[in-house]
Amino acid sequence: MNSKCHEETTVEDAREFAREIMSKNDPSHDFYHVERVHNTAMQIASNESDPDKIDLLVLQLSAYFHDFFDLKYEKGHDGSLKEKLEHFYDAHGVSQERRQKISFIIRNLSFRKELSNAIDLDKVSLEFKIVRDSDRLDAIGAVGIARCFGYSCIINRPFYIKNAKYNPNMTADQYNAQTKENTSIAFNHFYEKLLLLKDRMLTTSGREMAEKRHNFMVEYLKNLEEEINLL
């Protein structure tokens, strides 16, 4: 089997592996989410000025695996996810260099990681930038609104509470505590995270795609406020 065919097989197996791992997740973070992230990543990659510089295997595996160690879902795994991932790499001959690149991406692309200032965005790989943008694009716009309220139902988070203040400048500790203690409000989440993402995109295509989705959310929130008589 030549290298290209081997990588195509690895990606397809990664897709099915992700489907298995994500099968217990709620619809806001299920397999269809990572599939959309993968497809968006491929779209952004094709728009780059020099796509030949992108390691597509690292890109695609990172997209499919990016939510494996999400803080919100780690308790739902049996504790052997890291071992299962290593077994997948071994079975498909994924090099240690690629494993390290993938691990860095999936461990560091989250919004909470950005808040902690744990990484230097000027030094990250193009694959990192593309996957992070793709994940964040799925958090905004029409599908982002659906995911926000869908997840709110899963964790019994209120849609709106009158006079509840939101904080668009949270620290990583504040954001993590809010997640662990489930003290957030869906309406506030737009102002504490989702409306901030447009200006944090790392690729030209990501920024262009985010503009439309961001504007859709702004219009939606305006209509929501009018309908529940907040204005």
pLDDT at 1: 59
User: Residues near 12 by Cβ (< 8 Å), separated by ≥ 6?
Assistant: none
Please report the pLDDT score of residue 78 as a whole number: 53
Q: Supply the pLDDT for residue 196.
A: 98
> How far is 50 from 195, CA to CA, in rounded Å?
30
Which helix (H) or strand (E) is 62 found in, with range? helix 56-65
pLDDT interval class at 205 (50, 70, 90): very high
Q: Is 118 left (phi over 0), alpha (psi -120 to 50) or beta?
A: alpha
Predicted TM-score (pTM) of this structure: 0.94
In angstroms, the Cα distances linking 33 to 144, 156, 164 are: 10, 21, 30
Could you report the per-residue pLDDT of 9-65, keeping only the tens digit for each?
A: 999 999 999 999 999 899 999 999 999 999 999 999 999 878 788 999 999 999 999
Reply yes or no on domain 3-227 having CATH 1.10.3210.50.
yes
| Per-residue pLDDT at 230 | 64
CA distance 2 to 4: 6
The three-class DSSP label of residue 66 is coil
User: What span, in angstroms and rounded, lies between the C-alpha atoms of 215 and 76?
Assistant: 35
pLDDT at 49: 77
Q: What is the pLDDT of residues 54-106, one digit of tens each?
A: 999 999 999 999 999 887 776 555 568 999 999 999 999 999 999 999 999 99
Residue 217 in contact with residue 144, Cβ under 8 Å?
A: yes
* Domain ranges, ordered by start, for the chain: 3-227
Reported as a single tens digit per residue, the pLDDT across 161-182 is 888 899 999 999 999 999 889 9
